[in-house]
Copies of this chain bind each other. A is one copy, B any other.
């Protein structure tokens, strides 16, 4: 195995977030499940947008946010995802490149416009997401470049990729190429409803060794093992996964590895403004630690630090240098 050119390559849906504040009543009135992610078609996207408040646009996408976080730690990062050659697509490409991430996936020149996620942030800082995948659903296996995957220490995939059919094939190809090159494959379960849609396939990926590192929050884990009991779910995960991290919001996280379960604390947050991206950024810090050969507990602290930064402001990408932040906290 040659030395890696990238620490982490992420593959995910290329999405621009459209973020507005909303009251809980707005979610109720539109049949939205608070805190969740719902896939919507273009007509519903238009209807929701027409009724939501003034918004800001920020590049997003779960794995894309993670990869920007990886780059913000000063690690070498690349991204693969499909946008269209429209204003939003050019915005997405600009923002991820401006964050020092290598991004060379060609734009779709026809078909649906660049994907959007309509995010309603309620006064408690919780975010409720409505995703119109648009061009992202046309990510194809041929967009996954063998050289790029082989040259990356870790290939990181978002569970949301399992929704569009083509993207699932791209996911499988990426995992196979990574393992062929002796690299690691990491997966985030993304969302409890996403787990509900693809439970058996996700469990096969974990049990079968397609996934070396798994990220899940408590709700996703419980959905994966269809239990309301955290202990039961964690024990089941320990049986099946090589290395996993279960994130538990302000209760920190639990690292699951060959030695057992190890809880790691969260960083205190003065005021939660917007939880969008907390899981994505946790993964960023953990992956950076892993790529650098840090102990798992240290990697988890890096994840907790990045998550704390991103929930302190609107939007799912870091506003401050995570490298500097890690140095301030003695984590590098």
Residue positions of A touching B, CB distance < 8 A: 20-21, 49-50, 52-59, 68, 86-88, 91, 94-96, 98-99, 113, 315, 317, 319
**CB pair B56 A56 closer than 8 Å:** yes
Q: How many copies does the complex hold?
A: 2
**CB pair A58 B56 closer than 8 Å:** yes
Q: How far is the CB of A167 from chain B (nearest CB, A)?
A: 23
A86 contacts across to B, CB distance below 8 A: 87
From B50, B87, B88, B98, give the contact of A55 (CB < 8 A).
B98
Within the assembled complex, what's the spacing in Å between the Cα atoms of A52 and B94?
9
Within the assembled complex, what's the spacing in Å between the Cα atoms of A91 and B116?
13
Known: A49-B94, A94-B49. A54 touches B99 (CB 8 A): yes
A315 contacts across to B, CB distance below 8 A: 56
Q: How far is the CB of A28 from chain B (nearest CB, A)?
A: 19
A52 contacts across to B, CB distance below 8 A: 98
Known: A52-B98, A98-B52. A91 touches B59 (CB 8 A): no
Closest to A55 in B: B95
A113 contacts across to B, CB distance below 8 A: 87
Please give me the 5 A-B residue pairs with the lowest Cβ-Cβ distance, nearest first: A57-B57, A87-B87, A54-B95, A54-B98, A56-B58
A55 contacts across to B, CB distance below 8 A: 91, 94-95, 98
A56 contacts across to B, CB distance below 8 A: 56-58, 315
Within the assembled complex, what's the spacing in Å between the Cα atoms of A315 and B99?
20
